[in-house]
């Protein structure tokens, strides 16, 4: 894997460690952390700080009845969760989000494909596969967009993003990402608002493709 240059911003890493980051963005951060030693170490540091703060919180004793009820609940059988591992370009958190089934691609045109992993009122997260040399239509953003490269690379007005790199975009950025020549550029992208396309055709197709 090439060296990772673009990392998770501190504010997003703190929110992820605290459990306050929306689910769609949390998946992207989890996938990046699984690929990036630097961000994984930073996340562990945040968890350590959080644990230390909890240790300093005032403590109160549990009643015997509440303690017995708690222990009985802990003894209840809990089904084993499946253990997912990296498969090809897909990190373990992405494989888990797909429940081990692999992406279900939908063609968007020009060789571009997407697989929606989740979508609700708080945001959506999807896989995108873009052939080498193909461009994504020029657009801005209605909110925050996180794009993690899993395979290949793309470049836009802000620079080059290879495997493991994370691009953070908001409504201040207008860009036209272009996949680098070579293998298809596969990305994991999360948004909390629809994209804003400049051209008419992408705008007309937007409700159909849910982007």
CATH number for the domain spanning 92: value is 2.60.120.10
Burial label, 126 (beta-carbon count in 10 A; 0-12, 13-18, 19+): buried
Coil, strand, or helix at residue 88? coil
- What integer pLDDT is reported at residue 66 of this predicted model? 75
Element (H, E) at 28: helix 23-35
The model's confidence at residue 205, banded by pLDDT at 50, 70 and 90, is: low
Which whole number is the average pLDDT over 183-209?
73
The number of CA neighbours under 13 Å toward the Cβ of 99 is: 3
Out of 66-80, 137-151, 158-172, pick the least confident: 66-80
The phi, psi pair for 189, rounded to 5°, reads: -125, 135
pLDDT digits (tens, 9 = 90+) for 141-153: 778 999 999 999 9
Distance CA 187, CA 44 (A): 25
| pLDDT reading at 198 higher than 80 | no
The pLDDT value given to residue 171: 78
Q: How many CB atoms lie within 10 A of CB 145?
A: 24
- Mean pLDDT value across residues 149-176: 92
pLDDT of 197 reads 67
Burial of 82 (0-12, 13-18, 19+ CB in 10 A): exposed
The pLDDT assigned to 83 comes to 85
pTM of the predicted model as reported, rounded to 2 decimal places: 0.80
Say which range, 32-41, 59-68, 101-110, 182-191, has the weakest mean pLDDT. Answer: 59-68
Domain count, the chain: 1
Range of the domain at 161: 1-211
d(CA 127, CA 138): 19
């Amino acid at each position: 894997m090439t060296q990772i240059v673009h990392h998770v911003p501190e504010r997003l890493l703190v929110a992820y460690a605290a459990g306050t980051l929306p689910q769609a963005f949390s998946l992207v951060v989890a996938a990046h952390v699984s690929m990036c030693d630097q961000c994984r170490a930073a996340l562990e540091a945040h968890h350590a700080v959080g644990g230390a703060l909890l240790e300093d919180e005032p403590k109160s004793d549990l009643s015997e009845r509440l303690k017995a009820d708690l222990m009985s609940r802990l003894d209840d059988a809990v089904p084993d969760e499946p253990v997912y591992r990296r498969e090809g370009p897909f990190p373990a958190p992405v494989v888990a989000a797909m429940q081990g089934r692999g992406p279900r691609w939908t063609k968007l045109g020009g060789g571009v494909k997407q697989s929606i992993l989740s979508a609700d009122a708080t945001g959506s997260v999807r896989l995108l596969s873009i052939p080498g040399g193909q461009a994504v239509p020029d657009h801005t953003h209605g909110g925050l967009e996180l794009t993690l490269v899993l395979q290949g690379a793309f470049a836009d007005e802000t620079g080059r993003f290879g495997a493991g790199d994370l691009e953070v975009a908001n409504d201040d950025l207008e860009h036209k990402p272009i996949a680098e020549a070579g293998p298809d550029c596969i990305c994991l992208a999360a948004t909390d608002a629809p994209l804003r396309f400049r051209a008419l055709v992408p705008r007309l197709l937007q409700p159909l493709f849910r982007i």
